[in-house]
Structure 1
């Protein structure tokens, strides 16, 4: 099946933040981008917040994507907001898109012309999809824990170096 049969997309125009100065207060609404920065900052704008549930945000120019399950606003109209069609499990499609390592050298919009028509193998049984997604969650948690451990070791090393060379 084509991705267009699995996902709906929404233009983000009404969710674009009007302020370009972002706050550092996590109590406010995050402003997202699909690239490595992901959360650019926070806004106190109380209107036009995307709060419809889980979605994939895809940068139509760079093809970077993120799975999001919290309310947010976006920085630009280059983002496509992708949601599940026919109760498919969105995490599976997100992992599939990441697996493809989508890259581009052209500065143009790609989703409708290139991504939507792509074929995706989606299992008939949601049980296997759920098992796969549970496994991906465990890997993500392990990676997160290992990254925290790495940061702790780097901090300890820096402490030792700074005390050694004083």
Structure 2
């Protein structure tokens, strides 16, 4: 077949759907008796629910637990060959991975060893594109699961193996690009953390600053306001709205509200959780959820970004469940420079944050592109030209 006719077959005709069991060998797994010490900590890697965090990253190379050959022989667990595609069918439904080496799995997983008509990475990405469907068809009151009957009847669109390989290569390339960006973010965050330790403590000085630092209490640097006028009235927040509702904890933005009164507009400020001592820098309009929030502003002679950054380095031990700002936290003594050096240090750290934020935006854009590619390439809506084996 010449290149033109081969490409026409690849791009012009719709893909057939085939039963997955016809092009791959399906298997599952089991958990050996946990009371038998001789069944555990052996040489056979065993993928379990404790490895959920390793899924959806392409290859899985390590496992939290391992079993012995005795554990394998005395259970229904089997070793699936390297390159097999595994899928979590409950307690994290739809997560998938490709085995980097021979491994066993628990009963929570499905595993497929692909035959010559099916590329394992094509199957991996197809399963990735099916996540919302897996969630939709799962059932169970306590732990949702997908029954084995579903997988016995599962069909997939099957282009020629050459096109499968091209699709897989494109998606692998974007995953490699994403991984490189995420590694760069991790590196930049580590660099920024090092800068904070050096610049906010005076161990390293910026050029042009030589004046000695002096000890000041937080309450001499910051003033506080109670949150009562800015508390949101509704108990449940909106997914979208005019004004974000904030917490000083990890979640930060709890949701949104369309309330028009009691909006805090005199920013920038730091919101401080009086019970946990966590804090967030805020430079936009907001309302708050908790009455335990203190709203902190800089006094004359203090740069708010610098002081907030320095607060992140305070080693403060929590004791009883009580409010800390007035009684203890505001009395913390810090070594600080004059306000000009504070501002210069804060700008260096802000520039580092901007660089990290820009990388995160690139990551989100790349993820969006990948999602679009999954929908286009794995449904056949966009076809890739396949180079013919014979050129006549």
Kindly report which structure 2 residues correspond to 1:117-128, keeping only aligned pairs within 5 A, or say none.
117-124=331-338, 126-128=339-341
From 15, 21, 24, give the equivalent of 2:239: 24
Q: Residue by residue, what CA displacement relative to the aligned partner does 1:94-116 show, whole Å, maximum 9, x if unpaired? A: 00011225452532111111111
Q: 1 CA distance for matches of 2:250 and 2:315?
A: 14
Kindly report which structure 2 residues correspond to 1:21-100, keeping only aligned pairs within 5 A, or say none.
21-26=236-241, 28-100=242-314
Aligned to 1:138: 351
Aligned to 1:3: 218
Q: 2 CA distance for matches of 1:128 and 1:8?
A: 21
Which stretch of structure 1 is more off in the superposition, 73-82 or 115-124?
115-124
Q: Residue by residue, what CA displacement relative to the aligned partner does 1:56-91 show, whole Å, maximum 9, x if unpaired? A: 000011111000111111001110000111152100
Q: 1 CA distance for matches of 2:297 and 2:277?
A: 16
From 321, 342, 353, give the equivalent of 1:107: 321
Relative distance call for 1:47 and 1:102 in structure 2 (3 A) is same
Select the structure with the greater relative contact order (CA < 8 A; seq sep ≥ 6). Answer: 1
- Check the 8 A contact 2:221/2:299 in 1, yes or no: yes
Unmatched runs of 5 consecutive residues or more in structure 2 = 1-215, 379-392
In the alignment of these two chains, the number of paired residues is 164
RMSD of aligned C-alpha atoms?
Answer: 2.7
Relative distance call for 1:48 and 1:20 in structure 2 (3 A) is same
Relative distance call for 1:47 and 1:130 in structure 2 (3 A) is same
Q: 1 CA distance for matches of 2:239 and 2:317?
A: 31
Unmatched runs of 5 consecutive residues or more in structure 1 = none
Aligned to 2:153: none
Q: 1 CA distance for matches of 2:243 and 2:233?
A: 13
Give the TM-score taking structure 2 as reference length: 0.38
